[in-house]
Structure 1
Amino acid sequence: MAIRILLIDDHTLFRSGVRALLQRQPDLEVVGEAADGLEGVKRAKQFCPDVILLDINMPGLSGLETLRLLAQDLPRAAVVMLTVSEDVDELTVALREGACGYLLKSIEAETLCVAIRKAAAGEPVVADDMTAKLVASMRRPATLAEAGHGPLTSSLAPASDPLTSRERDIIRELSRGGSNKEIARTLSLAESTVKIHVRNILRKLNFTSRVQVALYAAGHDADRSDAVTAPVFHETP
């Protein structure tokens, strides 16, 4: 079954180009387009896509505001920001608000197709250049606090830790960008068991995506000597 994709971008020519590119792939299907955020939310409810490619800078409802509505109304859809913005604050907010990926419009066509497939499978996809910026920002947590987005550290932690030791093991692997299959191999678990643990972690921490869990892990462990500095995700397998 083809992966169903919705494009939300205010540039008609860009949408047409992306649509033409994706339609060449037998396993990818563009089911709809929208030129602004409000229309995008409406189309998303209408078509129930697997993956939504969402621009950030749009007139009216911004991409980040649209993302919040999509996360509320269609939590199962994988939202990937596809933008020209290399602002690390926008990257961080997008991931915290539920986006499963952040790609730049300069991306190669083949890499975009691979990223869409990974997003549809529940894996995070972040442009390599933006990953480097994210790592740098995690080493300077005050930068995000000064920007008004709040720290990514213990403020995300619950008053009492509800996580089991196995769930903490899985969070650590998630913070390294591991897929369910890779985590299962590393921890000698069945992949189905990892999926259950990930679902329980999301519920306990009140998150909507594994990317948010990875950011939580990077910030929550910031003061530990064995801490993972930040999640490192790649566009290609």
Structure 2
Amino acid sequence: MIRALIVHEVCLIADLLAQALNSQGDIQVVHRAASPDEALAHMERHACDVVLANILLPDQGALNLTKVVAKKHPEIKMVVTGLLDSKTAILQCLEMGAAGVVQQDDSVDDLVAKVRHVAKGEAIVSPQVAGALIARLAELKRLATELNGYQEISLQDQCTELTAREREILDLLGKGYTNQQIADELIIGVGTVKNHVHNILEKLDVHTRKQAAMIARQLAMGEAMANGGTEYTWPSALGVNVTSRREAASML
């Protein structure tokens, strides 16, 4: 039996929805709430499987309730009802944590089918919404790549264009060396170091020394693990004291 909770500010509509669902035999409406607060209070005391919340609840109540339920009661599936045929609104509900949506032009059969599907952990979306979801995922992937500062390719491939000297400097960047310290270590001028660092950033397709240093540390970790190393000591210049593989991996 699917236990459903209806959240709607209009009592008459809530009653009609309850009648439609209760008539199915495998769905039982356990409570009808007039507000998100009442619904949350009921969920704290009683079990339910699916919550149907009207999108027109005041103060974006349906979206806020969806967000809270997704965080506090992830086992409960949220269905937002009464939506217009708007891909933007539907995506917003799904991003908040809704398991499904019921649009204004959906039938009672559509409503019942969606309740059954979300109760089983499934979803029904139109081809238009599916296309919008795919586009949103691609956009999120692009943004994540930009935030990371480099393309998602293997670290070894990223470093193939580096010269031997640039690889030396990259290793020192990973150890937290400043330009002056690198110059002293390699017995070259600071200006030469700056030129090499500029070239390294361009070849690795990153924007900051910090991002380049992260790549250097990941490379060093991978090489150490490949060689069977079990202990790692990071330089004090990084302000990090790590002596175990687990601790070192957590820094990446």
Return the TM-score normalized by structure 2.
Answer: 0.52
Identify the range of structure 1 (108-117 vs 82-91) with the bigger mean alpha-carbon deviation. 82-91
Alpha-carbon distance in 2 for matches of 1:12, 1:105: 18
When residues 105 and 42 of structure 1 are mapped into structure 2, their CA distance, relative to the original with a 3 A threshold, is: farther
How far has the Cα of 1:47 moved from its partner? 2.3
Following superposition, the deviation at residue 63 of structure 1 comes to: 0.9
Determine the structure 2 residue equivalent to 1:165: none
Which of the two has higher C-alpha Rg? 2
Q: Which runs of 4+ in 1 moved over 6 A?
A: none
Whole-angstrom CA distance in 1 between matches of 2:38 and 2:144: 32
CA distance in 1, matches of 2:10, 2:110: 21
8 Å CA contact 2:87, 2:132 repeated in 1 = no
1:76 corresponds to: 75
Q: Deviations 1:129-169 (Å, cap 9, x if unpaired)?
A: xx415625865x6xxxxxxxxx53334579698xxxxxxxx
Give the aligned residue type for 2:56.
N
Q: Distance in 2 between matches of 1:156 and 1:54?
A: 32
The AA in structure 2 aligned to 1:135 is G
The question of whether the paired residues in 2 share the 8 Å contact of 1:3 and 1:120 is answered with yes
- For 1:103, the aligned partner's letter is V
Q: For the structure 1 residues 156 and 5, does the alpha-carbon distance in structure 2 shift closer, same or farther, using more than 3 Å as the test?
A: farther
Question: Are 2:73 and 1:89 equivalent residues in the alignment?
Answer: no
The separation in 2 between residues aligned to 1:72 and 1:118, in whole angstroms, is: 21
1:86 CA drift (Å)? 2.8
User: CA separation of 1:59/1:120 partners in 2, compared to 1, >3 Å: closer, same or farther?
Assistant: same
**Which of the numbers 133, 152, 155 marks the counterpart of 2:140?**
152
* CA distance 1:42–1:113, shift in 2 (3 Å): same
Q: Tell me if structure 1 keeps the 8 A contact 2:51–2:77.
A: yes
1:132 pairs with 123, 128, 135, which one?
A: 128
Aligned to 2:220: none
| Corresponding residue number in structure 2 for 1:34 | 33
Q: Is contact 1:80–1:99 with CA below 8 Å preserved after alignment?
A: yes
1:61 Cα deviation from its structure 2 partner? 5.0
Percent identity between matched residues is 22
1:123 is paired with a residue whose SS is coil
CA-to-partner distance for each residue in 1:66-101, whole Å, 9 max, x for gaps?
111111111011111111333322211211121111
Instruction: Check whether the contact 2:6–2:31 (CA below 8 A) recurs between aligned residues.
Output: yes
The amino acid across from 1:68 in the alignment is K
Higher helix share: 2
The answer to whether the 8 A contact 1:8-1:52 is kept is yes
> Counterpart of 1:192?
none
Alignment length (residue pairs)? 149
Instruction: Provide the alpha-carbon RMSD of the alignment.
Output: 2.9
Match of 2:30, SS state, is strand
Contact 1:67 1:98 in 2 (8 A): yes
* Structure 1 residues 111 and 102: alpha-carbon distance in aligned structure 2, compared to 1, 3 A threshold: same
Compared CA separation, residues 66 and 73, structure 1 to 2 (3 A): same
What does residue 50 of structure 1 align with?
49
Say if 2:2 is the partner of 1:6.
no
Q: Distance in 2 between matches of 1:80 and 1:156?
A: 28
1:111 Cα deviation from its structure 2 partner = 2.2
Structure 1 SS opposite 2:101 = strand
Aligned 1:186-225 pairs, distance under 5 A: none
Q: What residue ranges of structure 1 are gaps of 5+ in the alignment?
A: 142-150, 162-237
Structure 1 letter corresponding to 2:75: R
Give the structure, 1 or 2, with the largest relative contact order (CA under 8 Å, sep 6 or more).
1
